Chains A and B, each alone.
Chain A
Amino acid sequence: MVKVELTPHLFTFFPDLKGRQLLVAAGTVAEVVRKLDEIAPGIGFYICDERGSLRTHVNIFIGENRVGDRQRLTDAVPEGSRVYIMQALSGG
C-alpha cells in the first residue's frame, strides 16, 4: 500500500478527507490519483487536467523525489512509500 498525504488546501474542497489516513494500492503516480478519485470523486480533476497531466501549479513527491513525468504520471511508486500531493510554490 502507498500512503498519500495532501496539502491542507484540498481539504477545503474535500472536507471528508481531513484527518483520514489515505492508503491506496497503486504502482504508479497515475494509479495513486485514480484511486484517490475513487475515494473522493472529483479530486483527480483538481490535481490533473482532463488529459491526465499534472496541473502547472501542483507538485507530487514520491518520498523525497519530485515526480518526473508530469504528463502521464508514469513514475513508479514503491510499496510502502509515501506520496505527497502539494501546491507548487510559484513565488509571490
Chain B
Amino acid sequence: MNASSDRILVGTRKGTFALERRSKQQWRPALLGHAGVVVNFVVRDPGTDTLWAALGHGHWGAKLSRSRDAGKTWQDAPQITYPEGARYLDMPPGADPGQAKPAFKSAKLQKLWSIAFGPLGRMYVGTIPGGLFVSDDAGESFALNLPLWNHESRGGDLFQGEGSGVSHWFGTPASEGEFAPGIHSIAIDPRNPDRLLVAISTAGVLETTDGGKTWRSRNRGLVMDYLPDPNAEWGHDPHYLELCPAQPDHVWQQNHCGVFYSSDGAATWKKVSQPTCGVHFGFPVAVDAEQGKTAWVVPGKSDMQRTTVDGGLFVARSNDGGESWQALRNGLPQQDAYDVVYRHALDNSGDTLAFGSTTGNLYVSEDRGESWQSVGNNLPPIYSVRFA
C-alpha cells in the first residue's frame, strides 16, 4: 500500500470544495470558498502550502485566487495579463491552414486553465488563448513565455510583424468567448526541471529542455481522424497529458482520437486504445506515481456523444503500458448514468483515486480502482479534482 493524501481539492462551476477523509473510506465534501464562481482548477503548491484557484468570473474575467491558510480565506493573487502587442492568428474551426486568410487578434486573457509548480518558486499557468505564463517568485509576478507564444508552428513572432501568416494551432470549445487554443497540461520532469511538456488543444504536445527558451513538437506517432493527413505534425488534440514522476520517460495522453502512451519521454507515441473494452475517447488520464506503465482513464462514448458508454460509468486501468485494459466498475453506477469526467477531474495519490463528473458526482477508490464509493452527489458540475 502506498501512502495517500487525506484531502482533495475540487473545482466546480459554482465554487471550490474540499473533500476530506475523516477515517478510512469516510470522505465528506464541504464548500471551501468562491461560492457561485467558476473554478476551473484548484491545487496546492507543495513548496509553499499555498492553495491556488483558477477562477472564471462570468462578468469580471479570469482571476487567480490564493489561500495561505488551507482554504479558510482566499485573496486575489497578482493577476495574469497578456502583454501589450501580444497577438495571435485566429484559425476558425474547419479552416484549412493552407487556404485560410489569417486574421490577427489582440491577445487578452480568456481563461486560466492549468497550474503547475517547479522547484525554487517556479510556477506555471496555462491559459487560453494559448499562453504559458511563468513565475519565478512563487506567483508574485508572471511573464508570458515568448518562445512558445512566438513558435513557428503558430506563425512566428507577431509582436514584430506578420510572421508566416499561417498558424497550425486551432481552438478549443473550452475557450470562453472567442475560439482559441488552450494549454491544459504542464508536465515537469522531476529529473530536470528545465524539461517540460505542454499539451495544447488544439495543436499537440511541445517540449522544452532548456527551461522554455526553445520548444519542439512531440507529436510523432499521434494519429488523428479529422484532418486530411492523419499523421500531420500539428493539429492534434490531446485532452490531457501526464508523466510518471518516478519514471518520467513514461508519458500518457488521453487524446481526442484515442489513448496514447510513450515510453521514451514523448519522442514517439503509440496508440493504445482498446475499443472492445470501451477505451478510446475521454478527457482525463492519471499515471501511477511509481509505475510508468500503469495508468487510469475514464472512457466516454465517442466524440459525438461524450457520455458514458451505454449508460454505465467505469474507470479503465492498464498495468502494462496500454497492452491490456481492465474495466473497473465495482461501486460505480451501471445503469442510466451519463456522467462526463473532464480532463482535470481525475487524480491519484498512492493507492487512492478520485474523480468528479459534470453531473456533480464524486467518487473515491482506496484500492487502485478495484472498488469505488460515491462520496458526493448534487454538487455543481465538477471541473477539477486534485489531491492536496
- In whole angstroms, how far apart are the Cα atoms of A88 and B60 in the complex? 11
| B59 lies within 8 A of A45 (CB) | no
B82 at the interface (CB under 8 A from A): yes
Question: Any chain B CB within 8 A of the CB of A49?
Answer: yes
Q: A88 to B82, alpha carbons, bound, how many Å?
A: 24
Question: Is A50 in the interface zone, CB < 8 Å from B?
Answer: yes
Question: Hey, what's the 0/1 contact readout for B22-63 against A, CB within 8 Å counting as 1?
Answer: 000000000000000000000000000000000001111101
Contact pick for B59, options A49, A51, A88, CB 8 Å: A88
Asked if A57 and B108 make an inter-chain contact with CB atoms under 8 angstroms apart, the answer reads no
A42 touches B60 (CB 8 A): no
A74 at the B interface (CB under 8 A) = no
Number of interface residues of A (CB under 8 A): 16
Instruction: Give the docked Cα–Cα distance between A83 and B57 (Å).
Output: 23
| Closest Cβ–Cβ distance, residue A53 to chain B (whole Å) | 8
Measured between C-beta atoms, what is the minimum distance from A38 to chain B in Å?
Answer: 16
A88 surroundings in chain B (CB, below 8 A): 59
Question: With A50-B108, A50-B109 in contact, do A55 and B79 touch (Cβ < 8 Å)?
Answer: no
Beta-carbon contacts under 8 Å, A45-73 to B:
45-47, 49-51, 55-58
Asked whether any CB of chain A lies closer than 8 Å to the CB of B164, the reply is no
A87, CB-defined interface residue at 8 Å: yes
Complex: how many Å from CA A57 to CA B57? 10
User: In this complex, what residue of B is CB-closest to A42?
Assistant: B76
- Shortest B85–chain A CB gap in Å is 10
Q: Say yes or no: is A13 at the interface (Cβ < 8 Å to chain B).
A: yes
| A56, B177: Cβ atoms closer than 8 Å | yes
Binary flags per residue of A10-51, CB closer than 8 Å to B gives 1, else 0: 100100000000000000000000000000001001110111
Q: Which residue of chain A has its CB nearest to the CB of B77?
A: A42
* B79 lies within 8 A of A45 (CB): yes
Q: Are B108's CB and A46's CB within 8 A?
A: no
Give the residue name and chain of the A residue nearest to B176 (CB). A56
Given A13-B76, A42-B76, A50 contacting B81 (CB threshold 8 A): yes
- Closest 5 pairs between A and B when the two form their complex, measured CB to CB: A50-B81, A46-B60, A57-B59, A49-B108, A87-B59
Q: A10-B60, A13-B76 are in contact. List 4 more A-B contacts (CB 8 A).
A: A42-B79, A46-B63, A49-B108, A55-B59
24 pairs, CB–CB < 8 Å, chain A vs chain B? A10-B60, A13-B60, A13-B76, A42-B76, A45-B61, A45-B79, A45-B81, A46-B57, A46-B61, A47-B60, A49-B61, A49-B109, A50-B82, A50-B108, A51-B84, A51-B108, A55-B59, A55-B61, A56-B177, A57-B58, A57-B59, A58-B60, A87-B59, A88-B59
